[in-house]
Structure 1
Amino acid sequence: MSIDFTVFKGSSTGEIVESKGHRDLKPTEAVVKISHCSLCGTDELFLGADMGLGHEGVGTITEIGSAVSEISDFKVGDRVGLGWFHKFCRTCDSCVKGRQDRCENMTMYSTADFDQGCLASQVAWDVSTLFHIPEEIASKDAGPLMCAGASVWGPLYSTGLRAGDRVGIIGVGGLGHLAIQFASKLGMVPVVFSRTEAKKQAALDFGAAEFHLTDDSADFSKIKKLQTLLITTSANPDLKKFLPILSMGVTVFPLTMSPSEISISPMTLILGNIQIIGSGIASPSSVRAMLAFAARQNIRSQIEEFPMTKDGIVEAVQKLRDGKMRYRGVMVAQS
């Protein structure tokens, strides 16, 4: 069993390239015909690499490998989501403990399978990293949940936060606008920080309890302290500005793949009992819980649609770079 497919790749010049690929289907893989793929800021980091782009895909299974029915419930016709992770080994300590996101032998976007990406006509994907999409969620809305949604959900769902806790969210963008919705629907108090006054109403509409500007004139003196802080901006903020409003024992989660450094002294960490934890895509069990919660609570990304063509992707990338995307660009396959 084999497939031929079209895939959009980066290149040494940074230009989007339309390429052709071929794969033989492995026993634990399924062929997924891609219908939608949303654009993540992280994709920008790989525009200069000869690799398939896109890691927020949604599509329909058209074929399954010989062992798929023995190890999963996926079948032809299922609508599925796929993302950053390509395959888990299922046997290492992390996998056995249900933390496949820490799999010691995983393959994933940017480090393996450079011939494939979700910006493609179809893919051959290991079923260990596929997710059923609830009927209540349209395919165009599901893509952003596979990375942006799964990234902000993990710290809110799996770290002991409770209803009523004050959650600081820096940034109202592709990740931030979903973090606000999840935190609000989980009963937490989303306290939003942005350098853009124009995003205030949007943040409040998404469920923010408070909105604060972070420009040089910002006064944080009257802000009640936060139990956690999510950094969802593409560049890391100056944490010194936020220290006075962080509770003892606060956890700070940088959630974007930013190459910039976070500057804070060990003394500050010790005296404030502050933890800074790098957090990416949540574990599969957590992602399943996220999808069910998003379906039940009607949590959706605000999206802009583009054709899944070279020109459409170029347009979307430029709009993202210009900071004008509101708030997730979704590429739609052209039949």
Structure 2
Amino acid sequence: MGLECIQFSGSLSGEIVQKTFVHPELAADEVAVKVTHSGLCGTDLHYTTTEMVLGHEAIGVVHSIGSDVSSVKVGDRVGWGYPNWTCGRCEWCLQGEDNYCPNWRIYGLADFEQGSLSSFSVRKEQWLFKIPECLSSEDAAPLMCGGSTVWTPLVNHVKPYHRVGIVGIGGLGHLAIQFAAKMGVEVVVFSATESKRDEALKLGAKEFYITQNIDDHSTLGITENIDRLIICTSAKLNLALFYPLLNPQAMIFPLTASDGELAVPYFATVRNGLHISGSVIATRFMQKKALEFAARNGVRVIAEKFPMTLDGVKAAMARLKDGKMRYRAVLSWD
């Protein structure tokens, strides 16, 4: 007999709905997880008009396992994020870049009954991660997507001597500041408002600049130019404004999902050897290392807390949609 659970789903009308679902028997490589916490991500807003279970930043406790599962056991605390399965055979998987597997099954495109806004979820063993003991579930949940999104360009492209600019201090930005600062680099924050200056500096930023209504960023007065620019804001930016602040061969990483076109100055990009690089969540290996690094170095999430109820999910989604969420949201069954 399958496992009955409560789920919170999107709908064609955009209304969040609660439903009951019975998971089928576990396949040999599947794990049933009792969800305890779920982070909320801007991506979740994109699927509120889709008939699917929402959420993809989950922490829970292993309830039962399939016959072939060996990496986790009943009672383990685990987490998961965007992907649920990758093929393991394509050239990206074979070279350890499984986060670019063209055959992967990911949130929003497959496994529509397996979101984290649920009392139970069934996941493939392959993309489950054990949570370090000293990392709380509340801190771990947003690291499963938001944290891994900022971790990837930092760990792959930043050297200790670089100056890293972070644009936007929201759910992604406040994690990026901590990861970067604890890696030993100089962190320079660009924000639209003054309101988060003190928090940004306490999180590890060395410099803080307000960019709202500034048409010439060369007048900001930064002490030295930037080697890596991490775009963490969901607002569409005129990247050309940041060009005077970049060193030759600097790299720009736009991390938030958006539509439309990304426009940059053609000649200035070529002349200065600038790189604009897309980046997705971490590989399985790097997701594991991100959790370990966060636990070892005290990376902590600033989160607004909501109950895992229909009213709680609706309230969190509305606050996120209205742009009023301060940093991150975490829902829990506690």
TM-score normalised to the size of structure 2? 0.95
Q: Which amino acid aligns with 2:205?
A: A
- SS in structure 1 opposite 2:228? strand
Q: Deviations over 1:213-249 (max 9, x none)?
A: 1112365343221111111111221111100011111
Is 2:27 the partner of 1:26?
yes
Superposed, 1:316-335 pairs within 5 Å as: 316-334=316-334
Alignment partners' CA distance in 1, 2:68 and 2:327: 39
- SS in structure 1 opposite 2:249? strand
Alignment partners' CA distance in 2, 1:28 and 1:208: 43
Alignment partners' CA distance in 1, 2:266 and 2:7: 46
Alignment partners' CA distance in 2, 1:235 and 1:259: 11
C-alpha RMSD over aligned residues: 1.4
Q: Which amino acid aligns with 2:252?
A: V
Q: Deviations over 1:168-189 (max 9, x none)?
A: 1000000000000011000011
2:218 paired residue number = 220
Alignment partners' CA distance in 1, 2:43 and 2:81: 12
Number of aligned positions between the proteins: 330
* 2:303–2:328 contact (8 Å) kept in structure 1: yes
- SS in structure 2 opposite 1:35? strand
Is 2:198 the partner of 1:201?
yes
Match of 2:151 among 150, 153, 164: 153
CA drift at 1:157: 0.4
Alignment partners' CA distance in 2, 1:148 and 1:220: 30
- SS in structure 2 opposite 1:68? coil
CA drift at 1:256: 0.8
CA drift at 1:260: 4.0
- SS in structure 2 opposite 1:4? strand
1:284 paired residue number = 284
Q: Which amino acid aligns with 2:237?
A: P
Q: Which amino acid aligns with 1:76?
A: V
Q: Deviations over 1:195-215 (max 9, x none)?
A: 011111111111111101111
Between 167-176 and 240-249, report the one with greater CA deviation. Answer: 240-249
Alignment partners' CA distance in 2, 1:197 and 1:322: 20
2:141 paired residue number = 143
2:252 paired residue number = 252
* 1:54–1:118 contact (8 Å) kept in structure 2: yes
Superposed, 1:64-79 pairs within 5 Å as: 64-69=65-70, 73-79=71-77
Alignment partners' CA distance in 2, 1:140 and 1:275: 35
CA drift at 1:133: 0.3
Between 41-50 and 256-265, report the one with greater CA deviation. Answer: 256-265
Structure 2 unmatched runs, 5+: none
Is 2:6 the partner of 1:6?
yes
Alignment partners' CA distance in 1, 2:217 and 2:52: 45
Q: Deviations over 1:289-326 (max 9, x none)?
A: 11111001110110111000110011111222232222
Superposed, 1:1-335 pairs within 5 Å as: 2-24=2-24, 25-69=26-70, 73-159=71-157, 161-217=158-214, 219-221=217-219, 222-223=221-222, 224-334=224-334
* 2:79–2:144 contact (8 Å) kept in structure 1: yes
CA drift at 1:268: 3.0
Between 213-222 and 131-140, report the one with greater CA deviation. Answer: 213-222
- SS in structure 1 opposite 2:218? coil
Q: Deviations over 1:249-299 (max 9, x none)?
A: 111111111224321143332112121111110111111111111001110
* 1:6–1:19 contact (8 Å) kept in structure 2: yes
CA drift at 1:98: 1.4
CA drift at 1:116: 2.0
- SS in structure 2 opposite 1:241? helix
CA drift at 1:39: 0.7
Alignment partners' CA distance in 1, 2:203 and 2:324: 18
- SS in structure 2 opposite 1:134? coil
Alignment partners' CA distance in 2, 1:29 and 1:281: 22
